[in-house]
């Protein structure tokens, strides 16, 4: 009897790599292929669930089962969002100014954090001595709650744009780093030795063997980094800012503006969805050389 080898993180990996790798392993399993009618059924059920939740929410407000000063109502929130999108001034600025500020911080911090994480993860994954030397430092930094480091970025970089970028950077870096490290460390050395025997230079081995093999894990890290980038930007705006969606949500909370609060949260959800879809499209194009999987099988002899 033969069974499929386990796909979880290796026991020889550092604890932090194992934790993040475990989540990446789950996300990396592709959804089994389903017919078009099944996909339409899934979408229909999702829409039905969403409509049902909104209807129950509105009903709970109507019969005074929920407090409108806290939960508002779907109709009021939709009306508030429509007013904002029409150009209404919200606390001194349009909602487009708040969205643009937060979006810029997210994109810049994400790009810097993800790119540096890929480079550091690759280098440490291929140099055992450097990895063992820096592992205690990396684990110590990773264990510090990011909310404790946020005021430090404000002190060093000021209350402006770059302090938020720094917080986004630190949120994204470790997620992408550990997934990159796992992907590089999981590359079979047999392939590397075979490429060198065939005359490949070190640069060619990295470009044609190691990176393609580690790419699925790296892309999972990039996808996981999107919500962490959102968290970093909002956290920075909570601490010190006078604009942005995070600042707007905090100001709405302090003003007991429930409709504005929920509208700001929904705008953040929309940004998260948009950035995730962009990463998904990039992942699909980059990994188009991989054969599609239509399910997972277990071979039993």
Least confident of 46-50, 57-61, 240-244: 240-244
Contact 135, 75 (CB under 8 A): no
Residue with tokens 């065939």: 198
Q: Is the pLDDT of residue 291 over 90?
A: no
Distance CA 8, CA 28 (A): 11
Residue 95 has pLDDT above 60, yes or no: yes
Could you tell me which residue, 39 or 162, shows the higher pLDDT?
A: 162
Q: Buried b / exposed e across 125-163, counting CB within 10 Å, b at 16+?
A: bbeeeebeeeeeebeeebeeebeeebeebbeebeeebbb
Burial (Cβ within 10 Å: 0-12, 13-18, ≥19) of residue 99: buried
Gyration radius of the chain over CA positions: 23
- Give the separation between CA 86 and CA 65, rounded to whole angstroms: 32
- Rounded Cα distance between 49 and 157, Å, is 44
Contact predicate 225/113, CB 8 Å: yes
Residues 85-109 have a mean pLDDT of: 92
Neighbours of 184 (CB within 10 A): 22
Question: Which range has the worst mean pLDDT, 31-40, 58-67, 96-105, 156-165?
Answer: 31-40
Query: With bands split at pLDDT 50, 70 and 90, how would you rate the model's confidence at 66?
Result: confident
Q: Specify the pLDDT at position 38.
A: 81
Mean pLDDT score, 40-59 = 91
Q: What's residue 1's pLDDT? A: 42
- pLDDT exceeds 70 at position 45: yes
Local confidence band at 6 (pLDDT 50, 70, 90 cut-offs): very low
63, 188, 276 from 271: Cα distances, Å: 33, 38, 8
Cα gap 120→115, rounded to integer Å: 9
Give the model's pLDDT for residue 293: 53
């Amino acid at each position: 009897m033969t069974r499929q080898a386990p796909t979880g993180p290796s026991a020889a990996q550092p604890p932090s790599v194992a934790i993040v790798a475990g989540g990446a392993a789950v996300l990396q399993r592709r959804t089994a292929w389903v017919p078009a009618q099944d996909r339409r059924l899934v979408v229909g059920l999702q829409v039905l669930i969403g409509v049902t939740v909104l209807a129950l929410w509105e009903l709970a407000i109507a019969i005074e089962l929920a407090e409108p000063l806290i939960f508002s109502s779907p109709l009021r929130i939709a009306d508030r969002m429509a007013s904002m999108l029409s150009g209404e001034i919200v606390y001194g600025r349009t909602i487009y100014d708040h969205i643009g500020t937060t979006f810029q911080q997210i994109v810049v911090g994400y790009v810097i954090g993800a790119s540096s994480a890929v480079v550091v993860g690759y280098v440490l994954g291929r140099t055992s001595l450097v990895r063992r030397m820096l592992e205690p430092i990396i684990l110590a930094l990773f264990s510090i709650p990011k909310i404790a480091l946020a005021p430090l970025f404000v002190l060093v970089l000021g209350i402006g744009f770059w302090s938020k970028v720094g917080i986004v950077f630190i949120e994204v870096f470790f997620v992408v780093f550990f997934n990159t490290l796992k992907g590089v460390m999981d590359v079979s050395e047999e392939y590397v030795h075979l490429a060198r025997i065939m005359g490949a230079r070190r640069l060619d081995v990295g470009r044609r063997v190691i990176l393609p093999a580690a790419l699925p894990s790296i892309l999972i890290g990039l996808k996981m980094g999107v919500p962490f980038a959102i968290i970093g930007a909002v956290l920075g705006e909570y601490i010190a800012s006078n604009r942005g969606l995070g600042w707007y949500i905090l100001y709405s909370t302090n003003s007991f503006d429930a409709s504005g609060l929920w509208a700001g949260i929904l705008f953040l959800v929309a940004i998260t969805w948009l950035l995730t879809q962009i990463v998904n499209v990039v992942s699909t194009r980059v990994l188009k050389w991989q054969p599609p999987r239509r399910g997972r099988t277990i071979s039993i002899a």
